[in-house]
Structure 1
């Protein structure tokens, strides 16, 4: 019997995680598999939930929560989910299928909207444009076609525990916001020679809660740019990292001039630019 461990970090999202835990009780699992559910709670006011193994941490950040959940897990396959999501009864079965049946080391599901719609069409994924090459190559397909991938979203992915431990888990320096931590993890897997697969049938209905999680501990969009530069230095050359740094600062500088007729906004973006420059220089 193969054990699958579902690990859910949560913070101040009580009403959302209760629904997700209910969904996980109604899963049609692959044959010879069983499930354990681990909730790692970083909420200000802890709430013990049913149908799971519950732990509370006083720290803040999804990387620490996930790594802690893995240390407490007993499964051979690990699944990571966000707390503000819903899943259908075949979700677990579809998500682990590439690992169980096709010899992949990790798999990604589709991060859909609340109605289950794919954010991207098939052609849209291949035409994605961004000044930030890290964001482009680590973007989850999120389209209605399965394929090998080098991207796995932290909100909706599976990996064998053996491989997770071999690459060292999630990099906790990305906390407290965790912005870009899954992109770093995916490139860590890829550069270590592990295979990943995107299964479009494993749909996660992402609610996108407006509060809780890491929304009140820092700007994810700001920290994502800082952290993609760190990722570029980690897995690519200094030349590529420096080029990305230049493009990030150019993007922030352009916002200053776009708001030049609105002094308050122009000053705000100038301060953001200076903060970004400082953070990038410290990487």
Structure 2
């Protein structure tokens, strides 16, 4: 039986963050999910540290690829995803225990294609709170596309903190070699 959610985590030289990120995913209250960690050619200890944490987690998969950048790693994750819904978590992010449960509940009760929750940003230079994005949206794919075309999607441009029905990616991939690649897909 396929999981209801696929979590795609691109990983590149994040040895200081990957363990906490993965542990936050291990603690999820939602039970039907898989995590696809895409090692994008890390040259530090990221892969080794990740392997140690997920060694007993059957629903966590580590996929190796040559370094191709964030977009290529996310696309690789999409190719391996088996879930009906897909979310992206950056390898330096931490998610709350009910992150997946909350988003899947929103999508299923509202019969939506995309759900978004808020997130807290942290300034990487000083480690201080950089503000809380309280954006909250649940929309159909058609409504999302209208907003996308009009460049009026009321949310962060990141694909993180969102849950997408897999059909949203049936004809869309992240553009390789671009800066701000999230905006191509999420805005």
TM-score by length of 2: 0.73
Q: What per-residue deviation string (whole Å, max 9, x for no partner) do you get for residues 170-192 of structure 1?
A: 12242xxxx321111123xxxxx
Alignment counterpart, residue 35 of structure 1, candidates 12, 29, 33 = 33
The 8 Å contact of residues 81 and 157 in structure 1, kept in 2 or not, is answered as no
Q: How does 1:89-104 map to 2 (within 5 A)?
A: 89-104=97-112
Unaligned runs of 5+ in 1: 121-141, 188-283
Shift of 1:75: 0.8
* Counterpart Cα distance in 2 of 1:147 and 1:70: 23
The 8 Å contact of residues 24 and 89 in structure 1, kept in 2 or not, is answered as yes
Structure 1 residues 64, 84: CA separation in 2 closer, same or farther (over 3 Å shift)?
Answer: same
1:222 aligns to what? none
The 8 Å contact of residues 121 and 129 in structure 2, kept in 1 or not, is answered as yes
> Which one has the largest radius of gyration?
1
1:72 aligns to what? 80
Shift of 1:108: 2.5
* Structure with bigger RCO (C-alpha 8 Å, 6+ apart): 2
* Counterpart Cα distance in 2 of 1:110 and 1:116: 17
The 8 Å contact of residues 110 and 118 in structure 1, kept in 2 or not, is answered as no
* Counterpart Cα distance in 2 of 1:117 and 1:92: 23
Shift of 1:25: 1.3
1:181 aligns to what? 181
* Counterpart Cα distance in 2 of 1:64 and 1:105: 24
* Counterpart Cα distance in 2 of 1:79 and 1:147: 15
The 8 Å contact of residues 108 and 153 in structure 1, kept in 2 or not, is answered as no
2:62 aligns to what? 54
Alignment counterpart, residue 153 of structure 1, candidates 140, 155, 158 = 158
> How many positions carry a matched residue from both structures?
157
* Counterpart Cα distance in 2 of 1:147 and 1:99: 10
1:12 aligns to what? 13
The 8 Å contact of residues 40 and 56 in structure 1, kept in 2 or not, is answered as yes
2:117 aligns to what? 109
* Counterpart Cα distance in 1 of 2:28 and 2:100: 7
Q: What per-residue deviation string (whole Å, max 9, x for no partner) do you get for residues 3-28 of structure 1?
A: 21111001111231111111111111
TM-score by length of 1: 0.50
Q: How does 1:1-283 map to 2 (within 5 A)?
A: 3-29=4-30, 34-42=32-40, 43-45=42-44, 46-47=47-48, 49=51, 50=54, 51=57, 52-114=60-122, 119=131, 142-143=133-134, 146-147=136-137, 150=153, 151=155, 152-166=157-171, 168-174=172-178, 179-187=179-187
